[in-house]
Amino acid sequence: MENNQIEVVEGDITLCKVDAIVNAANRTLLGGGGVDGAIHRSAGPELLKECEALPELEPGVRCQTGDAKLTRAYQLPAKYVIHTVGPVSRDGLHGEAEKLRDCYQHSLELAVQNNCRSIAFPAISTGVYHFPPKKAAEIAVSTVKEFLSNHPDLEVLFVCFDRRTASIYHHLLSDE
């Protein structure tokens, strides 16, 4: 039985008309490639300006791995962008799974704190950061399901950029 608060779609997260889209950023929050690049391109230059204005926790770092920061979304159809920094996958022995769980947990908390009713996630860390897609999806789905059990009004969209990733999520969610 698929959870009716969770939906899996294949597509481009910058087109999602939800309250918040999550960006798989890096610690500078100054943009990059992948979904980070797509979000900044679609949001327009004001997004970078807001990110640059966020306080540096240490030189060049505005968001620690596993943490999340909220900004406006400017020219994107969403209301907010929640920037989170996923772990770079090494050997799975450096707390990568816990950090990835933190990304989902902190993004969800930030969304609820800002009265969001819907939030869209990309497959955080599974691109440039090389996190194994199936393991990442298992972490994403388990963290989101646990959070939703206490937040019945929140809707979560997993936006997969390719069919392979979408089928991993569909398989996980229909396996109840």
At closest approach, how far in Å is the CB of 85 from ligand APR?
8
Residue numbers annotated as active site: 36
What is the 3 state secondary structure string of 12-42?
CHHHCCCCEEEEEECCCCCCCCHHHHHHHHH
Using the rule CB under 6 A, which residue among 32, 48, 79, 114 binds ligand APR? Answer: 32
Using the rule CB under 6 A, which residue among 24, 51, 81, 156 binds ligand APR? Answer: 24
- Distance from C-alpha of 121 to C-alpha of 168, rounded to nearest angstrom: 15
Quick one: 149 or 167, whose CB is closer to ligand APR?
167
Per the structure block, which two tokens stand in for 96?
């990568």
Query: Which residues, numbered 109-168, are part of the site for ligand APR (CB under 6 A)?
Result: 122-129, 159, 161-162, 165
At closest approach, how far in Å is the CB of 115 from ligand APR?
24
- Distance from C-alpha of 21 to C-alpha of 93, rounded to nearest angstrom: 29
Quick one: 37 or 77, whose CB is closer to ligand APR?
37
DSSP classification of residue 162: S
| Residues near ligand APR, by CB under 6 A | 12-14, 24-26, 32-38, 86, 122-129, 159, 161-162, 165
